Structure 1
């Protein structure tokens, strides 16, 4: 079975879908690995390292020719896959909700497209979960970027010239990114508080040494939303949360927002009026910027100023750590494929009725088959 690794062409994409470590592991399974020239350059992985790991290096046309598996990070445009054989598997972060035309193009080309970001949150799929691995890095980098933009120190410092007070950091949304942001801010010496609509996260916040800030007496979401993510809340809860957040924000130096609802615009957590209560020099990092933003005034991919507050419209922060992000992403892909690898046939066998396969499959046999797209 031939496995092709593409060079990413999406603007700003720095990651690669395989690293020499996983190329060697795929070869050990019996796969023939072909890597497009320059695929790992932005992630500090030269072509020679792939060749040393046993991979072939060539042009896109050479890599795609007769490939059974096509690995990517960001979903490529369908016309860039000319030459790929019908029935090949295209595996990566395909952004199905926002790239419906591309998904239809994959179907028309006869590709079986698998969206790794739709990996179900179940125990046996944890090692395959690209959202968790990349969000972990994004949460870390959000704090680092905030510290770089903040005009003061994070930890308390007692000096002969006086005491420097610690920064106050407030994390809104305690998923993977939020938990890493809490941990990183704590390591830097900040006083950290956090909130979430899921009451089950209270203990997680406390376990990291942060203060939980929760709406009391008003029910949040029912359960945890689809796949373990937060869902939408009631009007009553949103009003109570806005009141609580307003009183807390005015005392904060740095705020990091991470709230996302799959397939829908990001919920608005901070209004312009609330921003105006923060002291000048404060910093807000909006990790939901490319989904519309949690913060009023966020500009995706840019730094904005409102009421003396700096708003960083974070755009896929994992890309700013390309070596580590690529390594984690590549291992997620390897863990997925190796779990379905059949030694007798020498390739990946994906049963259509398997829970994981069913959840991530977008196209098959020339048709768009994902139920989530049909209902979107």
Structure 2
């Protein structure tokens, strides 16, 4: 299997580490690592060689000769078009609306696993890339906010008097939100949490946070498959009204509310920002999906009437060593699961694979994701099933 160096701007992670090279080697899987692929994450080429990987020069990547590719983001179309029939692509493939990617993979009869679609079930916990990376994002978001804040986070008792602790508001109690709660509490902040799901109250309080009960409205959102479902506009309006008072008191706000495949819910309006005190900080982890907060810009910090709005769209890549270690372990667990005696065991009925198997045997298996209207590029079933897929490593 090939592990190329990531080409996306600002991406410093890598899809395999020397640890997972050794781990997969015990299962008969040989990894080929592009030279310099792990340098930005703190992993040297020599460490990969010592672990048993083969190093490949950047101008000699064997796209047409490998049985699979492990990546963070999809390689360039020119590279994908060289993959042989039956090869496997594993990574964060951004499948929502990915018509061009799916068309190439189907034409090449390349199987693909989109890690964004991995089900959140007990058996797949060790493979859950979104959770491991969201954990890092929640941690780093609080550090960014604390660094930009105009006051201390913990309570301090000094000869000049007592400094009150910072008040932190976390929007969304998923993996990133809960890690933000834990990190802010470790720094000494007083943390309040808003989430549309009353069921997360116990988790929030176990970390020392104070849960804000959702608005009393008949139609309340829940979750499906471990992911939050989209809330109605009526519920979001009631929630924004509830949050306005909390925002006026907050020093740091961490926004983490997202719905897979949908625009992020707009929780903080322009009018609500007007009520925040100058010097406070908002970190928006959902900025790449449209943002929970009005005025945030991906990758930028915007000052608005003294309030700092941080568009944090790539925080895991800012902690590349540990982010890569966790990501690589997640992928290794998934590869071990699908490794068969003579190739990849890509059973569409497998509960782990049924949701994340994006393309298989020349067909798109998730047209509901790629194109909700059902127009995703696919071959006819007769064409898709005309040849078996046999992959060794």
User: 311, 316, 319: which one pairs with 1:318?
Assistant: 316
Q: Post-superposition shift, 1:221? A: 3.2
- Closer, same or farther: CA 192–220 of 1 in aligned 2, 3 Å: farther
Q: Post-superposition shift, 1:103? A: 2.4
**2:228 aligned counterpart, secondary structure:** coil
After superposition, give the CA deviation of every residue in 1:236-295 in whole Å (9 maximum; x if it has no partner): 322221111011110000000001111111110000110110100000000001111110
Whole-Å separation in 1 of the counterparts to 2:286 and 2:130? 13
Q: Post-superposition shift, 1:100? A: 2.7
Q: Which residue of 2 aligns with 1:172?
A: 171
Q: Which residue of 1 aligns with 2:381?
A: none
Q: Which residue of 1 aligns with 2:300?
A: 302
Say what the alpha-carbon RMSD is for the aligned residues. 1.5
Instruction: Determine if the alignment matches structure 1 residue 211 to structure 2 residue 207.
Output: no
Contact 1:38 1:46 in 2 (8 A): yes
Q: Post-superposition shift, 1:98? A: 4.6
Instruction: Determine if the alignment matches structure 1 residue 232 to structure 2 residue 230.
Output: yes
**1:38 aligned counterpart, secondary structure:** coil
**Residues 1-376 of structure 1 correspond to what in structure 2 (within 5 A)?**
3-60=1-58, 61-219=60-218, 221-224=220-223, 226-342=224-340, 344-345=341-342, 347-372=343-368, 373-375=370-372
Contact 1:249 1:277 in 2 (8 A): yes
Whole-Å separation in 1 of the counterparts to 2:72 and 2:219? 35
Q: Aligned residue pairs: how many?
A: 371
Q: Post-superposition shift, 1:219? A: 4.0
After superposition, give the CA deviation of every residue in 1:174-194 in whole Å (9 maximum; x if it has no partner): 000000000000000000000
Q: Post-superposition shift, 1:200? A: 0.3
**1:256 aligned counterpart, secondary structure:** strand
Whole-Å separation in 1 of the counterparts to 2:101 and 2:142? 34
Unmatched 5+ residue regions in structure 2? Answer: 374-393
**2:71 aligned counterpart, secondary structure:** strand
Contact 1:36 1:63 in 2 (8 A): no
Task: Give the 4+ runs in structure 1 shifted more than 6 A.
Answer: none
